[in-house]
Amino acid sequence: MSLPQAAPPRPIPPFGDEHETLREAIRRFVANELRPHAQEWEDARWFPNTVFTRMAELGYLGLKYPEEYGGQGGDHVHDAVLAEELSRCGSGGLAAGIGAHIGIATPPIWKFGSDDQKRRFLAPAIGGEKIGALGISEPGAGSDVAGIRTLARRVEGGYLVNGSKTFITNGVRADFVVTAVKTTEEGGHQGLSFLLIEKGMEGFSVSKKLEKLGWHASDTAELAFQDVFVPEENLLGEENKGFYLIMANFQWERLAMALGAVGSMDAVLERTLAFAGERHAFGRPIAKHQAIRHKLAEMAVKLEASRSLTYHALRLFAGGQDALREVTEAKLLSQRSAYEVADEALQIHGGAGYMREYAIERVVRDTRLGPIGGGTDEVMREILGKQLGL
């Protein structure tokens, strides 16, 4: 049985020929250097830091950053190619660890950091010498960011930080954590600031490496801060203006997650179409049974709807327009769709889908995080409700 075309012809704007050349190179890198290790790194609950150094060598950690800091001088559309293609590595945890470094930890330093901070943190992060994490969530506050309790008290020359963070991707390995703190206790949204907290600072420790349903290759940690002195020069952006930083960061994080979901669905559909064409039951390929054919059709619709919305949001975002509604819609639709597509793919694989060997069960476990991380589905709907004036 010949393989049907699952994907529309490329390039699809905002991507152009240059981006498709980059896509081919990244796809080759992912297929040759990441995917073969996916199972091993999932089992080890860790991927080696050499992944960062190798990606730095290839220029992939700094696609959107200026050459002045070691970047490639590209833009978000170049980074979008990477976000989409990384999901083909076959390990959500690996993609998440790299994604946290590139997509959420370094962007605020680029956008809000001083030149000194860019030289001390951004440049080595682009060079793969320092690994970053973003620490916002706490045991008592996730969706409700204003409710964080980690307190940074002003002292001579800097701040004294006390509190904890949880669910922090790259939390164990990070050389620096872009950390949300309260600088004004009663300030709510207006009392938030960001500090660059570095590995080795006295009183800063990893209190726990967390076990998870999926994303096994990534290290997700609980962090503790006990009278950690953070010098003034590590304040990122303005004091008490941290909420703007969070909001600015969310847009790209959510868009990158949507792109990852599109890449994941694309890969899963391609594999499932091939499987359904080869696997026979009752005298014909299972794809020739209407029930299976309809499942595949629905999966293709979910992929295409997510892709269209995500690329639309990306076009607006990359063009410098306000894309809050479109990014939120893309995040909401794509994350739930990626999980549903993975679950249907498992069903179509039958018993094989439940086995580790086919790696579909891992996609189901890994994609379950999408409707929770980077802002839950419920929070996305709240944002969209507000956009409707409700």
Ligand X SMILES: Cc1cc2nc3c(=O)[nH]c(=O)nc-3n(C[C@H](O)[C@H](O)[C@H](O)COP(=O)(O)OP(=O)(O)OC[C@H]3O[C@@H](n4cnc5c(N)ncnc54)[C@H](O)[C@@H]3O)c2cc1C
Contact 181, 234 (CB under 8 A): no
d(CA 268, CA 167): 27
Q: Does 142 bind ligand X (CB under 6 A)?
A: yes
d(CA 55, CA 20): 18
Q: Mask 358-377, x = binds ligand X (CB under 6 A)?
A: -----------x--xxxxx-
Rounded to a whole number of angstroms, the minimum distance from the CB of residue 318 to ligand X is 24
State the CB neighbour count (10 A cutoff) for residue 282: 7
101 DSSP 8-state letter: I
Closest residue to bound ligand X by CB: 142
Of 136 and 292, CB closest to ligand X:
136
Of 65 and 215, CB closest to ligand X:
215
Give Cα separations from 103 to 51, 63, 164 (angstroms): 16, 11, 22
Output the six-digit token pair for 264.
Answer: 């994941």
Does 253 qualify as catalytic in the annotation?
Answer: yes
What residues numbered 297-356 form the site for ligand X, per CB under 6 A? none
Rounded to a whole number of angstroms, the minimum distance from the CB of residue 335 to ligand X is 12
For residue 276, the SS3 value is helix
Choices 162-170, 200-208, 245-253, 283-291; region in contact with ligand X by CB under 6 A:
162-170
Rounded to a whole number of angstroms, the minimum distance from the CB of residue 308 to ligand X is 26
DSSP string of 199-252, one letter each residue: TT-TTEEEEEEPP-SS-TTS-EEEEEEEEEEEEGGGEESSTT-HHHHHHHHHHH
Sole binder of ligand X in the list 137, 249, 334, 337 (CB under 6 A): 137
Radius of gyration of the chain (CA): 21
DSSP string of 277-340, one letter each residue: HH-EETTEEGGGSHHHHHHHHHHHHHHHHHHHHHHHHHHHHHTT---HHHHHHHHHHHHHHHHH
Q: Does 168 bind ligand X (CB under 6 A)?
A: yes
Q: Which of 42, 138, 253, 326 is catalytic?
A: 253
Q: Mask 81-120, x = binds ligand X (CB under 6 A)?
A: -------------------x--------------------
What residues numbered 215-254 form the site for ligand X, per CB under 6 A? 215, 220
Q: Does 26 bind ligand X (CB under 6 A)?
A: no
Q: Does 169 bind ligand X (CB under 6 A)?
A: yes
Rounded to a whole number of angstroms, the minimum distance from the CB of residue 52 to ligand X is 16
Choices 161-169, 249-257, 281-289, 326-334; region in contact with ligand X by CB under 6 A:
161-169
The counts of H helices and E strands in the chain are 14, 10
Residue 251's Cβ-side half-sphere holds a number of Cα atoms within 13 Å equal to 20
Of 72 and 179, CB closest to ligand X:
179
Choices 47-55, 74-82, 131-139, 234-242; region in contact with ligand X by CB under 6 A:
131-139
Of 72 and 334, CB closest to ligand X:
334
Closest CA to 286 of 212, 345, 226: 345
What residues numbered 262-301 form the site for ligand X, per CB under 6 A? none
Rounded to a whole number of angstroms, the minimum distance from the CB of residue 77 to ligand X is 24
Virtual torsion, Cα 35, 38, 40, 43, nearest 10 deg: -170
d(CA 386, CA 77): 28
Of 158 and 371, CB closest to ligand X:
371
Sole binder of ligand X in the list 82, 86, 109, 136 (CB under 6 A): 136
Of 80 and 136, CB closest to ligand X:
136
Of 14 and 373, CB closest to ligand X:
373
Give Cα separations from 185 to 156, 234, 299, 357, 358 (angstroms): 19, 20, 48, 51, 50
Sole binder of ligand X in the list 148, 152, 269, 379 (CB under 6 A): 379
Of 22 and 245, CB closest to ligand X:
245
- Catalytic residues, by residue number, are 253
Query: Which residues of this protein are in contact with ligand X, per CB under 6 A?
Result: 100, 133-137, 142-143, 167-169, 212, 215, 220, 369, 372-376, 378-379, 382
